[in-house]
Amino acid sequence: MRVGIVGLGFMGMIHYLAYQRVRGCQVVALCEQDPKKRKGDWRSIKGNFGPQGKRMDLTGVSCYSKIDDLLNDPNVDVVDICLPPALHSQVAALALSASKDVFCEKPMALTTNECQVMTRAAQKMGRQLWIGHVLPFFPQYQKALDLVQSNKHGRLLGGHFTRVISDPKWLKSYYDPKVVGGPLLDLTIHDTHFIRLLFGMPQKVTSTGRMRGEVVQYVHSTFDFGKSSQIVTLTGGTIDQPARPFRHGFEIHMENGTLFFEFSALEGVPSIDTPLTFLPARGKGRRVALKTGDDITPFENEIREVKRSFTRGEISEVLDSSLASDVISIVHKQAESVEKQKTVRFRS
């Protein structure tokens, strides 16, 4: 699978590093406007986890400044889009129209209309379109998904999901609804996607929150799936206290047990506050054994799923674009509920 990455920000770099670990994948092209990055100087790239950028040897990689040049490269099978969300729909449609398969970093797009443009382009050209929601490939979430789908512990009763970060001041236009979209589209969308994956499509959502400009900065949402026994909530967003840059976790309730997990970082020091733990209906709680790795491992596993789907021509459940499009719809309903201060229904 020969890949061309479009956009060399932090996520573009993480994807590049992940591809190096997956047998049968090769990054053959890059598209980036910054001439320093095209020459391999990635020292300006940084994020809130993982390695920082350094000088890279790009020998054998075609480096372009214009997207059309990458799309015209016959060596590229898959276009990996790591651009600001406002550009996802346009670039994905161009790549699909050029008969390339597309792997697009989340969010799929800023609006459901843009998602439809991408979906129609993939259907028209008979190409694959994967959306990179990486959370299900993190070991705790991957194990939780496996256990829930196995029905080993009975039906789902509900759950609570949390994701909070300090203000990401290094990201330009983070709170611009027309560029990045704010925390709902960039941050808590991880958990919204995971909730959609576990529980299906909600019927109603009730959200409260505080605004920052035109976008929701912090939210608490309760999702109604039309089943009285299922209570599903999500809390997350950004805070203005940089001393705690990150926190996430979940508690998932099933008939015969509960799974919970908590992770945080304080003053830049990561801490697993509660390892993935299972509380059975009877007996003592126990830690759940996991296969772990480093910060790149979840993205490596995500790329492996793209490779599997590419090779077999099968739709990936986790990376399915129709599911990702549903998530954009859910996010906008959350924002609508906050703004209108009332429960919002989804169209059937």
Q: At 21, which CATH number?
A: 3.40.50.720
Q: Are residues 54 and 128 in the same domain?
A: yes
* Amino acid 51: pLDDT: 84
* Amino acid 167: pLDDT: 94
State how many domains the chain has.
2
Indicate the SS3 state at residue 217.
Answer: strand
* Amino acid 120: pLDDT: 97
Q: Are residues 175 and 249 in the same domain?
A: yes
Q: Are residues 274 and 310 in the same domain?
A: no
- CA neighbor of 187 nearest in space, from 45, 323, 331, 80: 331
Cβ contact 3:61 at 8 Å:
no
Sorted by sequence, the CB contacts under 8 Å of residue 97 that are 6+ apart come out as: 121, 124, 125
Q: Are residues 42 and 187 in the same domain?
A: no
Beta bridge partners of 269: 266
Q: Are residues 270 and 282 in the same domain?
A: yes
Q: Are residues 25 and 59 in the same domain?
A: yes
Domain at 214, CATH number: 3.30.360.10
* Amino acid 7: pLDDT: 97
β-strand pairing of 156-166 with 101-105 = unpaired
H-run or E-run covering 155 = none
Give pLDDT < 50 ranges for the chain: none
CA–CA separation, 123 and 94 (whole Å): 13
* Amino acid 46: pLDDT: 80
CA–CA separation, 93 and 115 (whole Å): 10
Secondary structure E strands in the chain: 2-6, 26-31, 62-64, 78-81, 101-105, 129-132, 156-166, 204-212, 215-224, 231-239, 246-254, 257-266, 269-280, 286-287, 344-345
Domain that holds residue 51: 2-133+302-319
Q: 269-327: per-residue pLDDT in tens?
A: 889 999 999 999 888 999 999 988 899 999 999 999 999 999 999 999 999 999 999 99
Q: Which residue has the tokens 């236009």?
A: 173
Q: Are residues 331 and 192 in the same domain?
A: yes
* Amino acid 268: pLDDT: 77
Q: Are residues 211 and 275 in the same domain?
A: yes
Q: Are residues 203 and 85 in the same domain?
A: no
Q: Are residues 93 and 103 in the same domain?
A: yes
CA–CA separation, 235 and 104 (whole Å): 26
Q: Are residues 205 and 334 in the same domain?
A: yes
Q: Are residues 250 and 264 in the same domain?
A: yes
